[in-house]
Chains A and B, each alone.
Chain A
Amino acid sequence: MKKVLSVALALTMMLLVCVPAFAATITQDSDKSANVDVVTKTTDKDGNPAASFTVTIPGTVEIPWYGTTGGDYLNWSYTSQLEIGKQLQISLDKTGGALTNGTADSLAYTLSGDAVGTAFETGEEVTEGTVYKQIEVAVSGWDDAAVAAYSDTVTFTVAVVDL
């Protein structure tokens, strides 16, 4: 019996702690003013998280043999509208490598720019439109390799981190 009473008492106390959000009423006997809080949610009308971002990278970067006079670039961009206190962190998996054709031949290349070597952090929750970035691709040894299609893969990684 004591156990039943203890459980009942515990439940009663728990329910008292729960404070339901009731509507306010103004009557002839109450204060003549009452407040309504207008609050935004962090989810959209379908209940999906509203915070979002997009990092756009090309599927392929084609480099003419001997390269381009003005330089060859991997162009990428990003937009974000994140929750307060958050930013994007974008990084590449290499600072350089070798373009290969499946044989013993290869063309060495280096990468330079934001997100290369050190992760790039956007520094803000919300971008003003799309932010454009460039990574320079410098290929060398053009004269040492047979003319063919040489390739390598560069991987972007994006994370949402604290500011």
Chain B
Amino acid sequence: MKKILAVALALVMMLAVCVPAFAFGEDISTNGGQSQTQLQTLTTDEEGNPVAGFTVSIPAAVEIPWGGTSTGDFLNWSYTSKLETGKQLSISVDKTSGNLTNGTDNLPYTLTGDAVGTAFLTGEEVTEGTVSKQIAIAVTGWGDVPVDAYSDTVTFTVDVVDIV
């Protein structure tokens, strides 16, 4: 009898020591108590689409007057980004120089600026508005070729990479 009472007492004491873990989302009884609700954002919008995004805007064409512009000729581009934590944009141009051609003659040109030669890393997940950039285009040999429309294509490539 004493043993039974001792075991029962031990059980009761053990139960008293157990600290109840408040469960999430459980109804709170009419006698009081606590329950918890966790607030959590998704990385998708209400339609299930990924929210992280970016836009890099480049001109379809850059027209350079014959002889160039006194203050320089530029390819103006810009970007905005709202990326996931730890991510940034990597933007690069496929050449540092080339030849504008009309199929017969050439006008050499060089490019200088961010994204030329070395990929440009934005360094942040979220931009403060639109960030504007310029690439200078220097054309030479204007006096050596017939007057005509000479052209070349420059390709931009954008990747999302880790911020190191």
A: residues with CB less than 8 A from B are 21-29, 32-45, 47, 49-51, 81-86, 125-126
Contacts and interface: CB of A to CB of B under 8 A. Distances in A.
Interface of B: 50, 52-70, 75, 100, 102, 104-105, 107, 109, 137, 139, 143-160
Among B52, B58, B70, B146, chain A packs the most CB atoms within 10 A around the CB of: B146
B150 to A, nearest CB: 5
Contacts, number: 138
A38 B65 contact: no
Contacts of A84: 102, 104-105, 146-148
Contacts of A35: 153-156
Contacts of A85: 146
Contacts of B155: 33-36
A25 B56 contact: yes
Contact of A37 (B57, B60, B158, B159): B60
B52 to A, nearest CB: 7
Given A27-B53, A32-B159, A37-B62, A81 B149 contact: no
A51 B142 CA distance: 11
